[in-house]
Chain A
């Protein structure tokens, strides 16, 4: 990795800036589970040989490993998306009591507008709940500097620090100049200190008192820090803002006065009161929850907030104007194409078989969630990582209308599916669990996981055998099938559904994004085509209907031949080679 310590210009995303800022902070250890929009933080850190960066199996494990590194005396970071932090809440709440040794920062990326998430929870609420400080950059350049502050705050106040990004901070790229480099810090030693690190009730009661004292000190810090800055211009209109909302408000009203909170918890009450006193009319602009607005109300500071409908979706410069005019949110219709499984995706034949079988499918989080959409429409629940197998257990035990199948991807199975399988076996559940193994963490852009046998850096490591772990958990049968063999897959599914057993079927075929080899594109013989539309029901982006003819786009077609298998009139065959 070559980088210099003299000032130079860069064009970085918010996620890349966090990684470069962490490098500059002397971070020695980073761990995460991929999750849009946070994934590139670890991908960037993985390029730096000066530190150890890794994919963990889930966010709780990532958090705990990074926290362990902090106890060992090395600065450490964990990163996740908002719903990922839910998985790590257990260690978060109690490490807030214990505090840290070397600096420890928890980076979390929220997704207002739900571009790639199942909800739009506002992570800012976690900070007062856990009583840890909250840092919110509004841009990549701020992310670069603020993350370095976050490590200092963590060490100075002996606390994990929550560092909150949103999609528009994480995935915006900005040009800025900085001294990119690395600070090497003196070692801190690992100490045996049970009063601090063994949270049995007697110790935790004392630590809780410390936590309350610490939050008072952080309140003082929040009043003084330059992370919270006042820009006085036109005093008729003032804004209280944080995160990317600050930039939307500045875009809309560049001449107004601003108090921008880079550290929004603990809330700097005196600073805000001071600012409010100088301003004729104070507006509070924030995405998602009325987090700052509630605080203003609690402190009796008069300000104009937003209608509850603005808790939904992301803001924009126009939204700022609408909020100030006390309008309701008008939802802009989604103008993008509907997301589809890629041409040649191995999930498609598996869903084809599931749909024909008429089972109820408890689904999970991954590309395969797209199997829920018409016309495949072969997946019937999706809530959170690992929920498919426990949902399947409850559903199959408590009703007789449908046979149920759990569908889960390889990476999601490792994330939190294994515990569901063990519990299902332990409690005598019968039925079929289908692991859609495309041998990569695909939805977030193709990351390695234990079953691929490669690390974040692409180095060979021990490879987890899904077959062996399912057998060890007590599954009665483990079958491995190629999902493109739809007849074979149908037979094995039918057989296992008819047995009084708990069976795992692994449908294994690599994601097209990692295995780019392509067979010759398929072609439809228009003379033979009887318009039965079976191929269109596969919902393949390469197959479309144009002017009454069904045609295959040669450029998009991966040549998987699934359409050929379902065609009733034998009209589809491979064309010439590429």
Chain B
């Protein structure tokens, strides 16, 4: 059954090695479990350690283009402060910019930077019409190591996102 739902476009970006692509993959799986049609686009090749990385996730009742129209991202999730200016103009007017959570995320994970993506996914999840269980299933499928910690940071981020979602 087709769900009457407008397409949601999310842009993930940052630097290679931060878990940007994994986060986009988990978000896609969660949306798929939620019953949406999902497309995720990313560019591979020529990306070395420390290079720019970006990925678009689109989900809704029926997705055509793997790329959203220019400057039409509903939510942007930036993983790196230096990279932030590069694509912030992709956010549509009135869209949700999660950059304000990056500092909190960094503080929360401390020197365990590998959990940054789980925290940010938690924040993101609080703004999307996908059930918590679908997110947890997606996390569980995609992350092979440190499952309890990832779940913990995901839920911490989710709580933070909900708190500020006024």
A residues touching B (Cβ–Cβ < 8 Å)?
Answer: 9, 11, 36-37, 115-116, 139, 167-168, 171-175, 244, 247-248, 250-252, 254, 316-318, 335-337, 339-343, 367, 443-445, 512-513, 541-542, 555-556
Contacts and interface: CB of A to CB of B under 8 A. Distances in A.
12 contacts: A11-B28, A115-B45, A168-B67, A171-B43, A174-B39, A175-B36, A244-B65, A247-B65, A367-B48, A444-B45, A541-B50, A541-B51
B38 A37 contact: no
Contact of B51 (A9, A244, A250, A336): A336
Contact of B86 (A254, A335, A513): A335
Interface string B32-47: 1000111111111111
Contact of A339 (B28, B47, B68): B47
Main secondary structure of the interface of A (DSSP, over half): loop
Nearest to A35: B45
Interface residues of B, number: 35
B52 interface: yes
Contacts of A336: 51-52, 54, 86
Given A244-B66, A254-B64, A174 B38 contact: yes
A201 to B, nearest CB: 43
B65 A11 contact: no
A52 B52 CA distance: 36
Given A175-B28, A251-B64, A116 B45 contact: yes
A321 to B, nearest CB: 9
Closest 3 CB pairs of A and B: A116-B45, A36-B45, A251-B65
A419 B131 CA distance: 59
B136 interface: no
A250 B68 CA distance: 12
Contact of B65 (A171, A317, A555): A317
Contacts of A341: 48
A318 B28 contact: no
B70 A316 contact: yes
B109 interface: no
Contacts of A251: 64-65, 69
Interface in B52-79: 52, 54, 63-70
B44 A445 contact: yes
A37 B49 contact: no
Contacts of B38: 11, 173-175
B29 interface: yes
A556 B49 contact: yes
B98 interface: no
B65 A248 contact: yes
Given A36-B46, A168-B41, 4 more contacts: A174-B40, A254-B64, A317-B68, A367-B48
Nearest to A40: B44
B87 interface: yes
Given A11-B38, A556-B50, A168 B45 contact: no
Nearest to A541: B50
